[in-house]
Amino acid sequence: MNRNDWAAPPIMETLRRALEEDIGPGDVTTKACVPETRTARGRFLAREPLVLAGTPLLPLIYRMRGGVYDLVFLKQDGDRCEDGETIAQVYGRAHTLLECERVALNFLQRLSGVATAARLFADRVAGTNCRVLDTRKTTPGLRLLEKLATEAGGVTNHRLGLFDAVLIKNNHIAAAGGVRNAIERTRAASGFPIQIEVRTREELREALEANAERLLLDNLTPEEAGEWVREIDGRATVELSGGVTADNVRAYAEAGADFVSSGAMTHSARAMDLSFRLELA
């Protein structure tokens, strides 16, 4: 993924819908008490230590409403921010700044929460040969944004959806009639590298005999994972998943995995505390 992905059509539609949801036919409070011609300056502030994500959305949000004349970033996605630090400064129509305040903060708070959680995982495996992967356990409709946020936190993006990588899981194996059938049918029908989930030592050996390129070992303890990795002995790359947390990810990495994956970075990330302060220009 790259910075241009922030302006992808699905994200633009998400922003449009978020603004419509909040503003609707108009901000009645702002219209009632703030003169239409008034200009103002605003600052986005971190209210706790965090890893920032979502800043590329701010110019897109303001562009949809119009009337913002200057936007300066003091921090960028992936930066660590301390309590009280200014992230960005904006100048424009007071109506626009007030209308967009909550939508802008909601995205920054959510995505910074994901990036902060991701950075914790990435930091915990530093110095090993293991990389942390994100998953598809994302907020419906926000997957691209949340994967951009995990990337900002230092984590490697796994598949974006069912369309860009092969991962044969236990239910696929059941429906295909076994590990070997699933691998052989997939190899004949798809040009993607084959990753397959294995749950028993018998399935592991069957997958290796069928020349699976990548194995997903699920719900093992770090000690069990180490034993399985030694049996694999480099014949396939190994991803460990299931029960991986920030507290134990180092142990899984040291078991010899090439990758560890965890949905906690997205499904359990809490929104970080950020605020917006406005003053007359």
Distance CA(268)–CA(250), nearest Å, equals 19
The answer to whether 147 is a known catalytic residue is: no
Domains detected in the chain: 3-120+269-280 (3.90.1170.20), 123-267 (3.20.20.70)
- Residue 263 reports pLDDT greater than 60: yes
> Within the chain, how many helices (H) and strands (E) appear?
11, 12
What is the reported pTM?
Answer: 0.95
Catalytic pick from 22, 123, 213, 218? 218
Backbone angles phi, psi at 68, to 5 degrees: -105, 125
Q: Confirm if 78 and 154 have CB atoms less than 8 A apart.
A: yes
The answer to whether 102 is a known catalytic residue is: yes
> What string of H, E and C letters represents the secondary structure of 256-274?
CCCEEECCHHHHCCCCCCE
pLDDT in tens, 172-211: 999 999 999 999 999 999 989 999 999 999 999 999 999 9
pLDDT in tens, 78-97: 999 999 999 999 999 999 99
User: Residue 136 to residues 42, 111, 162, 175: CA-CA distances in angstroms?
Assistant: 35, 15, 9, 21
The answer to whether 197 is a known catalytic residue is: yes
Q: How confident is the model at residue 281 (pLDDT cuts 50, 70, 90)?
A: confident
String of b and e for 156-173 (b: at least 16 CB within 10 Å)? eebbbeeeeebbbeeebb
The answer to whether 75 is a known catalytic residue is: no
